[in-house]
Structure 1
Amino acid sequence: MSLAAVVIGRNEGARLGRSLAALNGQVAQLIYVDSGSTDGSPAAARGLGAEVVALDMATPFTAARARNAGAAVLRADITLVQFLDGDCILRAGWLEAAQTYLAAHPKVAVVCGRRREEHPEASIYNALIDREWDTPPGEARACGGDAMMRLSALRAVGGYREDLIAGEEPELCQRLRRAGWQIYRLDAEMTWHDAQVTRFGQWWRRSLRAGHGFAEGAALHGKGPDRHWVAETRRALFWGALLPGMILLLASFAPWTAVALALAYPLQLLRLARRGGILWGAFTLLGKFPEALGVLKYHLRRDGRIIEYR
């Protein structure tokens, strides 16, 4: 099996150089897809031996569109593709482990491994993101932006859906699983990720983007047998919009009822804290507010613009 890598990015700076350097000499073809960078990323990528694809900025760019553009220029002999975000660095041994697993399991279309934050100590937000990446190994419902895929399976289902602002990988995995393929998460180190989320506003916009992704996914596949992201969308709307709206409405004419409803938040915080600690619980609950805004943004203003948090 012949392996290529497609790296996507926008103004990744030094992180892109490290990402491409880790792949150099490891794959048969190295593609970098740039989404309108102004920091010299395309020239830097060429200097590191990558073929560069620059997206036409007349059309709104998305990560899905960038990955499809990279896959479209792969050579005819390529059978596997490692997708990678430009802020991620490949770990030693991952490519061999992923290829070996795919060779032994012909029904698996996608394999992914453990993505870790390179600097979880830099901020509470980085630490929370590192925990978010820590999902159990085994058969999975979806992968993230870093994953190795069979090119034939990717093309058979039409590639990534290019109009999705967020959640394009889970949506792709939905279609792959419905076509009879499997997704598998290996118990192996895959990539370092550098989120660089150090401010509350960044975390807020990242959570808003997640809510937007929930709404998109539920609109596309929510009526399917696994109710894709329906529960996540409903939780965001309940805790982040419906319940606070009811509390504010009742506060003017039924204040004690409003207080009783407001008690649902500390009770929910206690429930979450028992499961994952007070800090994780607090941010999980607080995150429902930007997630709800993201859901509403999707339904009220589908402008096709990406939601950036850096």
Structure 2
Amino acid sequence: MIVIGRNEGERLAKCLMSVIAIGTPVLYVDSGSTDGSVAMARGAGIDVVELDTGIPFTAARARKEGFERVLRLVPDLSYVQFVDGDCEVVAGFIEKAMAFLDTHHDVAVVCGRLRERYPQRSIYNRICDIEWDAPVGDTDACGGNALMRVDAVESVGGYRADLTTGEEPELCGRLRAAGWRVWRLDAEMVLHDAAMVRFGQWWWRAVRSGYGNAQHAYLFGTLSRRWESLRAWLWGVWLPFACLALGVALGPLGWAAWLIYPLQWLRQTLRNPGPLGERALLALFQLGSRFPECWGQIRFMHERFLGRQRRLIEYK
């Protein structure tokens, strides 16, 4: 069991309690926490890896170094569960996931239903819970919480430590290219405490997503990431400028071009799954996220131009 975290405080305490209860060896990887997380983990009898502060922190780096340490400690390990420090593992999931891998030898990664622990605390938490209700079965990628087949991960070289975000889809892409499958079970996996109660937190979470899309499009030329990047520019930059120009040039008729946004919201609402209220709410945030996603892409291009590597993009 590999838990990664940075300044998760009480959330980490709940996470560690949930994984200790399972009874398997646990390793905690810390990315420069200043809130006593390392002492808390060691006090619980957990082995800790403290990442070198001289190298930029990324979740990918934490997962990679944690995986390498676990293999040194338990060289004959068959499966490894990755857990984010703000999540609690649901009792019984590990056993279900291991049983699935035992009988499906072409599957490298198993994940399950990720739920927000406090969806009622804010609209932003609620959006997270809706987003995470993904279809079960064969899937393209997992999130940060997943059970993985050790030999499969080793065979493709593990996580890329240089990715600022989106390291799981990138790893799953290499696994699928090598003939492995990724599977989402119809089972509760973890409770996640997003702790998003302010607009600024939601904004920076979307900035991180845009940064990751730009980084993936640049490094790997991934078609889906290129489309996500272009879509953000379309709705977040090009169309606003076009609508503004039409309004200035044509007056009332030109200002009507802004109707494209409510029409897009309606279109996305009809396309989203689930109850109507959730579909409409998700569509609103999907459309609004294009603006911070563009900002994330601009930050990536700026840092690439300056030859810099970004540390974690945090929203908490």
Q: TM-score, normalised by structure 2?
A: 0.91
1:269 counterpart SS class: helix
For the 8 Å contact 2:244–2:255, the answer to whether it is kept is no
Match of 2:244 among 241, 245, 248: 248
What do the CA deviations read for 1:163-211 (whole angstroms, capped 9, x no partner)?
Answer: 2111111111111111111100000110000000000010011011111
Q: Answer yes or no: is 1:101 the counterpart of 2:133.
A: no
Distance 1:240 1:269 in 2: 14
* Counterpart AA for 1:237: W
Residue 44 in structure 1 maps to residue 43 in structure 2? no
Please give the alpha-carbon distance, in whole angstroms, between the structure 1 residues aligned to 2:23 and 2:136.
Answer: 25
Which of 284, 290, 310 aligns to 1:288? It is 290
Q: For the residues of structure 1 that align with 2:293 and 2:136, how far apart are their CA atoms?
A: 27
Alignment match, 1:122: 121
Q: Which residue of 1 aligns with 2:207?
A: 208
Structure 1 CA distance, aligned partners of 2:138 and 2:269?
Answer: 28
Q: Is the 8 A contact 1:17 1:48 kept in 2?
A: no
**Counterpart Cα distance in 2 of 1:137 and 1:156:** 26
- CA distance in 2 between counterparts of 1:39 and 1:245 reads 44
CA displacement at 1:38 relative to structure 2: 0.5
Cα deviation digits, residues 229-263 of structure 1 (max 9, x gap): 22222211100111112233444434456424322
Alignment of 1:115-154 (within 5 A): 115-154=114-153
Match for 2:11 among 12, 15, 18? 15
For the residue of structure 1 that corresponds to 2:194, the secondary structure is coil
Q: Which residue of 2 aligns with 1:168?
A: 167
Q: Which moved more, 1:213-222 or 1:170-179?
A: 213-222
Partner of 2:299: 297
1:307 aligned to which of 305, 309, 313: 313
The offset of 1:228, in angstroms, is: 3.2
Partner of 2:193: 194
SS at match of 2:27: strand
Partner of 1:231: 227
1:237–1:295 Cα contact (<8 Å) kept: no
1:63 aligned residue:
59
CA shift, 1:308, in A, is: 0.6
Further displaced range: 22-31 or 209-218: 22-31
> 2:275 aligned with 1:273, yes or no?
no
Letter in 2 for 1:53: V
Matched residue type, 2:7: N
- Residues 50-101 of structure 1 deviation map (CA, whole Å, 9 limit, x = unaligned): 1000000100000000011111111212121100000000001101000000
Equivalents in 1 of 2:207, 2:12: separation in Å?
Answer: 25
Q: Distance in 2 between matches of 1:240 and 1:136?
A: 28
1:26-46 CA distances to partner (integer Å, 9 max, x unpaired)? 254210000000011011001
Q: Could you tell me the TM-score, scaled by structure 1's length?
A: 0.93
Q: Comparing 143-152 with 275-284, which one deviates more in the overlay? A: 275-284
SS of alignment partner, residue 116 of structure 1: strand
CA distance in 1, matches of 2:39, 2:77: 25
Structure 2: gaps (5+ residues):
273-278
**In the alignment, is the contact (CA less than 8 A) between 2:119 and 2:129 conserved in 1?**
yes
| Superposed displacement of residue 216, structure 1 | 1.8
Amino acid in the other structure paired with 1:240? G
Which whole-Å CA distance do the structure 1 matches of 2:7 and 2:87 have between them?
A: 13
What SS class does the counterpart of residue 186 from structure 1 fall into? strand
CA deviation map 1:207-228 (0-9, x unaligned):
11111111122223335xxx23
| Identity over aligned pairs, percent | 50
Map of 2:275 onto structure 1: none
- Report how many residues are paired: 303
